[in-house]
């Protein structure tokens, strides 16, 4: 079970203003206790634009958290594409639709030649959870094996199958018996050695490895752009007869600033790639990209149909998002603005010992907050998250010790946005 978090505590209703308290009460009554709200003082937004969200009073919040509206909140080109297509036609993949085929071809063309030669097919789902779930179905069907290796605090989604490989969701005791989590990255343990030991352990249990799956930025492991041993770990898994799934739901679509896909930074060619969150800028669309021979083995056991997956409106949203990403140069923006932001947070870290570590690639940064002994300070991280919310900057804490500030804004984040984040972060630290 996750420990204390930056979520609202339902027993603190009396600390809220009347409208907020009423909304929270109605919400809890209707949606039940499994849902969470961000912040000690939850926020209600009514409008979004670029990297900014606005509350009912017109107050402007800087969004450094939301990676889904990747080309900016309510981007007019994406909105227009959705509206135009919805007014015309919305069906499914059992009829021919040229735009769906063209989008699949376009997306596959964003992979470098060596990768595209390997990963020739694309299958549509609606969510990253469904994409990871389908990838595991394909892997298990193709290998006839069950064993899955994940990183220590991995998160891969919420279906039964992917929740059972997501220690960050319900803790180690919620994992399936065929799942093993390795004690890296973010520790002294070498990732390749940990994976090799785990392959041997799975073999000893009679559950040979089917796949290693990793989020290639290791977002829930504290944001780890560089993981020595990852390429060797993938080789070890393949040598043992398993496959490699790159979960690109968080790092993909240019966020890391260095090309479109996170796995490429590690010099890897995956067997399957899963896509999600930013793919439709908020519209529910996701996908699996994979080796045609694996998908053929899966197809030999049955057809695949996802009612909403790859419907023409979802495709219109995804195509417009991809077009904007290219036309507005947002991958390059992520690289340039992200690099400057990282440098400035590093400067701040040299002035404040409570910042114990800073890592990042493009517009995905992790900032560790630590106590006087240099140990993870979750309570400080949660305090900063809530102080920043009060200063109208949206951010979250994550990682195994929940002491890492996760900076992951829409990719239209600009230098003025970065200025504001730095100013408010420094002020929040000064007050904490």
Distance CA 59, CA 314 (A): 31
Q: Which residues contact 43 (CB under 8 A, 6 or more apart)?
A: 53, 55, 61, 389, 394
Residue among 159, 163, 185 nearest 175 (CA): 163
Binding its own copies (rule: CB under 8 A), the pick from 13, 77, 116, 120 is: 120
Please list every residue from 63 through 92 that binds its own copies, using CB under 8 A. Answer: 66, 68-69, 73-74, 76, 78-79, 82-83, 86-92
Going 333 to 336 to 340 to 342, the CA torsion angle's sign is positive
End-to-end alpha-carbon separation of the chain, Å? Answer: 27
Binding its own copies (rule: CB under 8 A), the pick from 170, 228, 241, 329 is: 170
Closest to its own copies by CB, 39 or 348: 39
Does the footprint of its own copies cover residue 169 (CB under 8 A)?
yes
Does the footprint of its own copies cover residue 195 (CB under 8 A)?
no
Distance CA 296, CA 286 (A): 20
Please list every residue from 295 through 314 that binds its own copies, using CB under 8 A. Answer: 295-296, 298-299, 301-309, 311, 313-314
Does the footprint of its own copies cover residue 119 (CB under 8 A)?
no
**CA distances for 322 relative to 51, 110, 367, 393, angstroms:** 18, 10, 29, 27
Going 268 to 71 to 218 to 123, the CA torsion angle's sign is negative
Does the footprint of its own copies cover residue 130 (CB under 8 A)?
yes
What is the nearest approach in angstroms of its own copies to the Cβ of residue 73?
Answer: 7
Per the CB < 8 A criterion, the answer to whether 263 and 275 are in contact is: no
Does the footprint of its own copies cover residue 133 (CB under 8 A)?
yes
Please list every residue from 8 through 37 that binds its own copies, using CB under 8 A. Answer: 20, 23-24, 26-27, 29-37
Does the footprint of its own copies cover residue 423 (CB under 8 A)?
no
Please list every residue from 47 through 66 that binds its own copies, using CB under 8 A. Answer: 47-48, 53, 66
Please list every residue from 262 through 281 that binds its own copies, using CB under 8 A. Answer: 276-277, 281
Distance CA 299, CA 42 (A): 46
What is the nearest approach in angstroms of its own copies to the Cβ of residue 44?
Answer: 4
What is the nearest approach in angstroms of its own copies to the Cβ of residue 298?
Answer: 6
What is the nearest approach in angstroms of its own copies to the Cβ of residue 74?
Answer: 6
What is the nearest approach in angstroms of its own copies to the Cβ of residue 120?
Answer: 8
Q: Which residues contact 46 (CB under 8 A, 6 or more apart)?
A: 54, 55, 56
Distance CA 168, CA 372 (A): 27
Distance CA 22, CA 29 (A): 11
Binding mask 308-347 for its own copies (x = CB under 8 A): xx-x-xx---------------------------------
Does the footprint of its own copies cover residue 95 (CB under 8 A)?
yes
Residues in binding contact with its own copies, number by CB under 8 A: 101
């Amino acid at each position: 079970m996750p420990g204390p978090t930056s979520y609202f505590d339902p027993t603190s209703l009396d600390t809220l203003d009347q409208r907020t308290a009423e909304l929270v009460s109605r919400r809890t009554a209707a949606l039940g206790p499994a849902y969470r709200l961000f912040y000690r003082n939850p926020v209600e937004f009514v409008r979004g634009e670029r990297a900014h969200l606005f509350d009912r009073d017109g107050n402007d919040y800087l969004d450094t958290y939301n990676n889904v509206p990747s080309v900016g909140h309510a981007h007019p080109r994406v909105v227009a594409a959705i509206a135009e297509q919805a007014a015309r036609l919305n069906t499914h993949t059992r009829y021919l639709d040229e735009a769906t085929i063209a989008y699949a071809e376009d997306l596959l063309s964003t992979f470098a030649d060596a990768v595209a030669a390997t990963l020739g097919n694309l299958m549509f789902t609606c969510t990253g959870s469904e994409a990871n779930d389908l990838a595991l179905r394909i892997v298990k069907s193709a290998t006839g094996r069950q064993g899955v290796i994940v990183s220590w605090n991995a998160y891969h989604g919420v279906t039964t199958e992917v929740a059972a490989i997501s220690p960050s969701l319900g803790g180690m005791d919620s994992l399936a018996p065929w799942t093993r989590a390795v004690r890296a990255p973010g520790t002294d343990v070498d990732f390749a050695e940990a994976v090799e030991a785990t392959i041997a352990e799975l073999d000893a249990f009679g559950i040979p490895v089917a796949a290693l799956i990793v989020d290639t930025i290791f977002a829930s492991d504290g944001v780890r752009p560089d993981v020595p041993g990852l390429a060797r770990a993938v080789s070890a898994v393949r040598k043992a007869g398993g496959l490699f799934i790159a979960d690109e739901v968080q790092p993909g679509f240019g966020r890391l600033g260095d090309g479109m896909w996170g796995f490429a930074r590690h010099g890897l060619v995956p067997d399957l790639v899963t896509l999600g969150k930013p793919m439709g800028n908020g519209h529910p669309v996701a996908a699996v990209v994979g080796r045609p021979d694996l998908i053929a083995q899966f197809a030999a056991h049955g057809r695949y149909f996802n009612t909403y997956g790859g419907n023409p409106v979802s495709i219109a949203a995804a195509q417009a998002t991809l077009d904007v990403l290219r036309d507005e140069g947002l991958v390059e923006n992520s690289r340039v603005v992200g690099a400057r932001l990282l440098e400035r947070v590093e400067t701040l870290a040299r002035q404040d010992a409570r910042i114990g570590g800073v890592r990042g690639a493009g517009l995905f940064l992790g900032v560790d907050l630590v106590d006087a002994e240099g140990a993870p300070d979750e309570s400080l991280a949660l305090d900063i998250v809530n102080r920043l919310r009060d200063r109208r900057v949206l951010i979250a804490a994550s990682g195994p010790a929940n002491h890492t500030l996760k900076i992951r804004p829409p990719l239209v984040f600009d230098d003025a946005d970065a200025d504001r984040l730095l100013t408010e972060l420094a002020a929040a630290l000064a007050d904490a």
